Structure 1
Amino acid sequence: MVPPLVLDIDGTLTTPDHRLDSRAFELLPNWDAPVVLATGKSFPYPVALAHFLGLPETIIAENGGVVYADGRTEFTGDPEACWDAAETFIERGGDLGWGTKTTVNRWRETEVAASMDADEELLREAAAEHGQEVVDTGYAYHVKSPGVSKGVAFELLCDICEYDPGEFVAVGDSENDASTFATAGESYAVANADAAAREATDHVLEAGYMDGTAALLEALLADAE
């Protein structure tokens, strides 16, 4: 049998130009084991992706700030403190970088995301003053509460669904995936992964982005035959 999966989205199921790779629609809908989507994006994005893949909506969003599983929603962290930090950042001349009309933070429940063009040092300074921290996913800087992580959220999701996290294969590309790698039974970083993900993973794949993920999933399917 194929193993259950916990999959990052950006940089893992996408192409280098940030598009969802069509192979996700070939490989995942008929995966004969649970599939968890674990992302830094706000809550609606992975829910929509699971819906269009025809998968149960078993979701970790906002770097672990949101868990949705078995019809149950759990929120963690302190969104008010995150926004206080963001406002301090803006008051000191910082810019979240998305312009005035944006959906990046519109539906974000537990954290605040800033563009990679934002002043990282100033953002981290403002976050620390409000007891928050910043995680760099390679696609945005996320102001979040300490203790919130994909790994902690994955443990909670497994408790809700009565899964064994040790049976899961995790795939990701960023420092926000390191905690998932530590919780899952086996982990793989795609070749485009950052240093933190590479250090935390069990294996680094030869190919990057969905090229690496697809090759792994095809190998897992072959092994299960």
Structure 2
Amino acid sequence: MVPPLALDIDGTLTTPEHTIAPRAFSLLAGWEAPVVLATGKAFPYPVALCQFAGIPERVIAENGGVALADGQLEYAGDPERVDAAIEAFEERGGDLGWDGVDTINRWRETEVAVRRTADEALLRGVAAEFDLQFVDSGYAYHLKSADASKGAALTGVAETLGYEPSDFVAVGDSENDASTFEVVGESYAVANADETASAAADHVLDRGYVDGTLDALRAVRERAVDDA
């Protein structure tokens, strides 16, 4: 029996061009245990990916701020404090950096994502002032409550699904995946992972992006077959 999975999306199920690889859909749909998509994106994005992949909606979004599993929806963090911090950031000359309609934050409920071209020092200072956590996912800067994380959310999702967090295998690429790696039984960082994720993972893969993820899951499946 294959183990349940906790998979990041960006940099993990995507290509170097930041698009979802078509071969990822068959991977997700064909896995015989629960698959949880754990991302820094806003909640609708992983839900939509589950729908298009034809798998149950089991997701962790906004770096642990929102979690859904088998119809049970949970929130973590203090969005009002985040909003107050972002207001202070903008009053001091900061800019979220998203041109036109801000689809990055439009449906975000518990945190705010800021373009990585923004004033990092100012944003870090505001985060410290409001007792919030600054996270660099490699794709955006995130301001969120310190008690919200992918790992904490996975602990709750695992309970809902009838598993222990240690039953899961996780694959990721960013510092926001390190908390997931800390609670699962086995973790893989793809070759394009940042230093924090690579240091926290049990294994660092030779290939990056979706190709590395496929390599990891082939190894997991082969081991499960050998152990059967």
TM-score by length of 2: 0.96
1:1-225 aligned at under 5 Å gives the runs 1-225=1-225
Note the C-alpha offset of 1:221: 2.8
Where do 5+ consecutive residues of structure 2 fail to align? none
Amino acid at match of 1:50: C
Q: 128-137 or 179-188, which moves further after superposition?
A: 128-137
Large movers: runs of 4+ above 2 Å: 218-225
How many matched pairs? 225
SS at match of 1:73: strand
Name the amino acid aligned to 1:110. T
In 1, Cα distance between equivalents of 2:2 and 2:127: 42
AA of the residue aligned to 2:167: E
Q: After TM superposition, give the deviation of residue 224 of structure 1 in Å.
A: 3.5
CA distance in 2 between partners of 1:200 and 1:217 (Å): 18
Please give the alpha-carbon distance, in whole angstroms, between the structure 1 residues aligned to 2:222 and 2:133.
42
Query: What amino acid is the match of 1:205?
Result: L
SS at match of 1:28: helix
SS for the counterpart of 2:73 is: strand
Distance 1:26 1:219 in 2: 17
Distance 2:133 2:35 in 1: 29
Structure 2 CA distance for aligned equivalents of residues 139 and 78 of structure 1: 23
* Cα offset, 1:27, TM superposition: 1.2
Percent of aligned positions with the same letter in both sequences? 62
Where 1:207 maps in the other structure, the secondary structure is: coil
Secondary structure of 2:12's counterpart equals coil
25-34 vs 202-211, greater mean Cα deviation = 25-34
Q: Which amino acid aligns with 1:142?
A: H
Q: Letter of the 2:175 partner, please give it.
A: E
SS of residue paired to 2:24: helix
Gaps of 5+ in 1: none
Deviation per residue, 1:60-89 (Å, 9 max, x gap): 000000011110111110111111111111
